[in-house]
Structure 1
Amino acid sequence: MILDAGLLRGWPKERAELYGKPHLGARYTHDTAYEPTQARCAVCGRRASNCHHVARRSWGKTFRLVTPNGVWELRSPLFALCGSGTTGCHGKFHDGGLRAEWVWRTGAAEEAWWSGTLLREYPPHSPDLYMFGYWLITDRYGNEMIREGSGPWR
């Protein structure tokens, strides 16, 4: 799918794609506050001790998606993880040992997202978005884990 450069506002598609997708075991409680909603790490199943912002905080709090079907301020999804920013699965996301990528199930679903059609029916972070895509988590060795909703123990 080729996206209009104005739609991404100079952002790489891989970065913009990380905003607005469903959380894994966490949620926003207020404007900047958030909390885990499950007791287990979304990657390994150990006790979740905090939340990880999938999109780096240095990239900005939101990505403004302006489409023919509406405008959305998309925030970073949150993952409930074990460890801190330097230990456990949380640390592995920060040191490059783990990487998350949103994968669309079909080109039609991806096109519906970027046109705003999908967002008109399913708001940002809606768990219903798992009908259209999933989180692919890859470790530094190329091993892949697919996450849809609660985690590896479902």
Structure 2
Amino acid sequence: MILDAGQLRGWTKERAELYGKPHLGARYTGRRSYELLQPRCCVCGRRAQSCHHVAHRSWGLEFPLVTPNGTWKLRSPLFALCGSGTTGCHNLFHGGAGLKAEWRWRSEVYEEAWWSGELLQVYEPHHPSLYEYGYWVITDRYGNEMIREGK
């Protein structure tokens, strides 16, 4: 699949792919506010204490995706995690970069439907039904797959 450079705004596809996908145990409640929806960390199962932005906040809170089928403001998905940015699983995504989240499409057809905007015409960004088309994979620093969420 070839993406138009205008769609990616100079970002890598891997970076842009982190926006608009379903949340894991959390959600936005406003422009800059969010909440936990589950009591347990989506990685280890301990008590969830914080919401993690999958796309680094320093990259920006939104990614405007312009497609042949429309324009969408996509936000970073949120994960319910234990700890904070310096403790628990939340720290593993930040401090030591021990964990990494990646969205994987179930087929190239679904991936194309996302980047063309077809899926976004049917589902709002972050809609749980997007799990029909893809899933989250969380790997450790050595590339070992730890968790597949939304199978």
**TM class, shorter-length:** over 0.9
Q: Secondary structure at the match of 1:43?
A: coil
Look up the match of 2:148.
146
> Equivalents in 1 of 2:2, 2:136: separation in Å?
22
Q: Secondary structure at the match of 1:6?
A: helix
Matches of 1:28 and 1:7, distance apart in 2: 24
Q: Distance in 2 between matches of 1:52 and 1:135?
A: 14
Structure-to-structure mapping, 1:97-136, within 5 angstroms = 97-136=98-137
Identity of aligned residues (%): 72
C-alpha displacement of 1:142: 2.2
Matched, 1:70 2:70: yes
- Give TM-score, length-normalised by structure 2: 0.96
Aligned to 1:84: 84
Figure out how many residues of one structure are paired with residues of the other and give that number: 149
Structure-1-length-normalised TM-score: 0.95
Unaligned residue ranges in structure 2 (runs of 5+): none
Deviation per CA, 1:4-47, whole angstroms, max 9, x where unpaired? 11111111101100000000000001110001100000111110
CA distance in 2, matches of 1:139, 1:124: 27
Moved over 3 A (4+): none
RMSD value, Cα: 0.9
Q: Which structure is higher in RCO with an 8 Å CA cutoff and minimum separation 6? A: 1
- Give 1:141 shift: 2.5
Unaligned runs of 5+ in 1: 150-154
Shift of 1:106: 0.3
